[in-house]
Amino acid sequence: AVNDSEVTPFSVPGYACQRRCTLENHNAVLTDALSLLAENAELSDEDGRGVAFRRAAAVLKALPSAVTNMSQLTGLPCLGGHSLRVIKDILENGTSSEVESTKESERFKALKVLTGIFGVGSKTADRWIREGIHNLQQLRDSGQTLNRAQQAGLEHYDDIKQPVSLAEAEAIRGIVGRAVASVSPEAQIVLTGGFRRGKLTGHDVDFLITHPEEGSEVGLMPKLVSWLESRVSFYAALLISKQPKMIVVMFKSIVTFSKILLNVISGIFLYGQKFRAVLEMGGRWRAVRVDLVVSPISQFAFALLGWTGSKLFERELRRWAGHEKGMSLSSHALYDNKQLSCLQGRYIRASSEEEIFAHLGLEFIPPNERNA
């Protein structure tokens, strides 16, 4: 038996952007529980509580082995009273009653289903719930007016809920790459988001597009959109999101991409019309969410860092920049707020992620270790 005096407490730095966190998680039971509470808080518009649970989960994800004893957690950052109670409950009883009752609550279940519809946020879901709508059938029967995104989201609900595989992401990379090349031959496209961090599945596929010549990226997105739009037989819906420079494409693509079939598809894709025939012979259709972002080359490193994630890693990078360095970091720029002699602060240039970490006084963390 282990007695408390023999237990060595874990130790981790306070910010997630100071920690190396691969996809290997020795505390998945605990972090799943805390993530569920975070999700519930976020769906209830309690973002502060949500972040607190996310930070606590990230600390546990970064530990080198499984927590077996509460005393190992002494001195760890970001573990508030609430998170510690949940952890203690699970270590002692195998489950947390709060997590179990949240999971089973009608409200949580309804919020998850409704916000799972592309284009539906927690406010809309909450309003529908108050009107007695708890599931997709009730939504369809209710006669609620849905915007274009929500209509497509409802129509493709099952497809979008199903995780995207790495093979699909790579296939879509080929297709989008071809589209980009035909509207702007010099343009570059990179896979960002979870797949860049080494994940094998994702809820979408994220691409960042740039052009080696500053300014040549202007107008690229609308060209890309119309190129894709002109191949209507190919995809289900094209949705322009509220954020500038970001569109979501819902692809109809096949579930299984064998290499050979993919080559056939890429070859025939250029001829638009014939594409559908191949697909119909070759496999099933499914809708996939794709996020496309275009960045000028001068901002590329910031965009790459900002769109690689994880979401918490990004949030912690910005918190570090602001609280520890007096700087503001975004997906566009790094800005030094400390230039007191000038009226304006100062933009700091960087042409690689490594340079940005260096400007922030942080050790470089490669993408596969940003899985906070």
Q: How far is it, in rounded angstroms, from Cα 247 to Cα 238?
A: 8
Q: Which stretch binds ligand ATP (CB under 6 A): 152-160, 231-239, 309-317, 352-360?
A: 309-317
How far is it, in rounded angstroms, from Cα 129 to Cα 106? 10
Catalytic: 336?
Answer: no
Check if the beta carbon of residue 178 is closer than 8 Å to that of residue 259.
no
Comparison of 259 and 311: residue with beta carbon closer to Mn ion: 311
Q: Looking at beta carbons only, is 243 or 352 nearer to ligand ATP?
A: 243
Q: How far is CA 360 from CA 18, 318, 327, 342, in A?
A: 11, 10, 8, 21
Q: Is residue 243 a contact point for ligand ATP (CB under 6 A)?
A: yes
End-to-end CA separation in angstroms for the chain: 32
Beta bridge mates, 347: 335
The reply on whether position 119 binds Mn ion by CB under 5 A is no
Tell me which of ligand ATP, Mn ion, none is bound by residue 252, counting a contact when its beta carbon lies within the kind-specific cut-off of 5 to 8 angstroms: none
| 45 catalytic residue (yes or no) | no
Among 202, 209, 265, 356, binds Mn ion (CB under 5 A): 202
Q: Which amino acid is at 296?
A: P
Q: What is the DSSP letter of 94?
A: S
Residue 310 near which of ligand ATP, Mn ion, none (CB within 5-8 Å, type-dependent): ligand ATP
Give the range of 27-35, 80-88, 197-205, 224-232 binding ligand ATP by CB under 6 A.
Answer: 197-205
Among 295, 310, 321, 353, binds ligand ATP (CB under 6 A): 310
- The pattern of x and - marking residues 164 through 193 that bind Mn ion according to CB under 5 A reads -----------------------------x
* Residues 4, 71 contacting (CB under 8 angstroms): yes
Is residue 247 helix, strand or coil? strand
* Beta-ladder partners of 95: none
Q: At 337, give phi and psi (nearest 5°).
A: -80, -5
Residue number, 203 or 276, with CB nearest to ligand ATP: 203
Tell me which residues touch ligand ATP (CB under 6 A): 193-194, 199, 202-204, 206, 243, 291, 306-307, 309-311, 314, 331
| Residues contributing to the site for Mn ion (CB under 5 A) | 193-194, 202, 204, 206, 291
